[in-house]
Amino acid sequence: MEERKKVIFSGIKPSGELTLGNYLGAIKNWVKLQDEYDCYFCVADLHAITVRQEPKDLRRRTLEILSIYIAAGIEPKKNTMFIQSHVPAHCEASWLLTCSTYMGELSRMTQYKDKSKNMGDSISAGLFNYPVLMAADILLYNTDLVPVGKDQKQHLELARDIGERFNNLYSPTFTIPDGYISTSAAKIMDLQDPSKKMSKSEENPNGYILIMDPPEVIRKKVSRAVTDSIGEVNYTDDQPGVKNLINILSAIKSLSPEEIVEFYKGKGYADFKRDVAEAIVSELEPVQKKVTELLTNKDYLESIYKAGAEKANYVSMKTLRKMQKKIGLIQR
């Protein structure tokens, strides 16, 4: 009998244009997982609307993200790629899980605290409940492993707690997922403030590189990246700007930071930054080309997300039915 492949679940929310952080920290690593695991990759549109989105931008970005997944090398035939809102079980399971999640747990989430800081009275309940929807996303597919960046670790911990609580309250229902920590997944920092992560909703465009940024924009942004007055390429926390650029080069070229430091011994920042920019340009150019091509073929994209939703619906409904039955809801 064929052994069950372990299940991986992940997604990206279309809350802005995708950055080099999303690419090097998530997508590029997902490509390496597709042969070994049964992978579900969604475009998390329901997560994006926890903060206000312009409808036409949301529509455009949702298809662009799907195209980026495919262009980066995630093969539609090997993986289940879908749009989160096409699989209603996510919302239904989220409600069922919300009823056994505590306000205290949710209010301790640092991402919620950060994002709601300047919102005054207009913090949406969706933003507060976001981690429960994320728990539903993961638990519905009997996920074994979730590739998460450090920033998402707290949410994954909560998803585990929520799943375990349900298993204890009723009977074993969910696989309790572990984090998948890839050794090559880099955390990419903001180019203007390397103490915070590169983020697609950052206001200063010089802080991030977008996957779809044209080569001249990429070169300009890298040349403006904050460094220091030391003038030597070292891999140390005392030079966070340079360290971040080393991490970017290392993730693209599969070189260790030590190899990079050795190579740039005696050279200044100008050479180093130029090479970093060229590495990013040559990494992203083929992806950009393919994305542009895919976006002109809406029928093809539709065929991918429809097939993905069909499989995701089938698997998630099985889990949802179990949940409903155990809770005491009458079967439909």
**Smallest separation, CB 146 to ligand AQP (Å):** 9
Residue 200 appears among annotated catalytic residues: yes
- Told to check if 187 binds ligand AQP by CB under 6 A, we report yes
**Residue 67 contacts by C-beta under 8 Å, 6 or more apart in sequence?**
290, 291, 294, 295, 301
- Which of the ranges 16-24, 211-219, 265-273, 291-299 carries the binding residues for ligand AQP, by CB under 6 A? 16-24
**Residue 314 contacts by C-beta under 8 Å, 6 or more apart in sequence?**
none
d(CA 109, CA 106): 6
Number of residues located near ligand AQP, criterion CB under 6 A: 21
**Smallest separation, CB 116 to ligand AQP (Å):** 12
- Told to check if 140 binds ligand AQP by CB under 6 A, we report no
Residue 32 appears among annotated catalytic residues: no
**Smallest separation, CB 244 to ligand AQP (Å):** 10
Residue choice 50, 199, 250, 319 for contact with ligand AQP (CB under 6 A) = 199
**Smallest separation, CB 86 to ligand AQP (Å):** 17
**Smallest separation, CB 294 to ligand AQP (Å):** 20
For ligand AQP, the binding residues in 222-251 under the rule CB under 6 A are: none
**Smallest separation, CB 135 to ligand AQP (Å):** 15
Residue choice 7, 33, 70, 188 for contact with ligand AQP (CB under 6 A) = 188
φ/ψ of residue 69, rounded to 5: -55, -50
Q: Which of 197, 221, 243, 273 is catalytic?
A: 197
Whether the Cβ atoms of residue 127 and residue 112 lie closer than 8 Å to each other: yes
Query: Could you tell me the two tokens for 328?
Result: 């005491």
Residue 225: Cβ-neighbour burial (10 angstroms; 0-12, 13-18, 19+):
buried
Residues forming a β-bridge with 7 = 38
Residue choice 7, 8, 9, 22 for contact with ligand AQP (CB under 6 A) = 22
Whether the Cβ atoms of residue 158 and residue 105 lie closer than 8 Å to each other: yes
d(CA 29, CA 19): 15
Residue choice 198, 222, 225, 301 for contact with ligand AQP (CB under 6 A) = 198
Identity of residue 16? G
d(CA 282, CA 286): 7
Task: For 224-274, list the strands marked E by DSSP.
Answer: none
x/- binding map, residues 43-62, to ligand AQP, per CB under 6 A?
-x------------------
Residue choice 28, 200, 219, 221 for contact with ligand AQP (CB under 6 A) = 200
Q: Which of 6, 115, 187, 322 is catalytic?
A: 115
Residue choice 8, 13, 246, 309 for contact with ligand AQP (CB under 6 A) = 13
User: What H or E segment, with its residue span, contains residue 82?
Assistant: strand 80-83
DSSP 8-state secondary structure symbol assigned to residue 3: P
> Which residue do the tokens 């009998």 mark?
1
d(CA 75, CA 72): 9
Whether the Cβ atoms of residue 66 and residue 290 lie closer than 8 Å to each other: no
- Which of the ranges 196-204, 225-233, 274-282, 316-324 carries the binding residues for ligand AQP, by CB under 6 A? 196-204
The residues that are catalytic are 115, 197, 200
Residues that bind ligand AQP (CB under 6 A): 12-13, 15-16, 19, 21-22, 25-26, 44, 148-149, 151-152, 187-188, 197-201
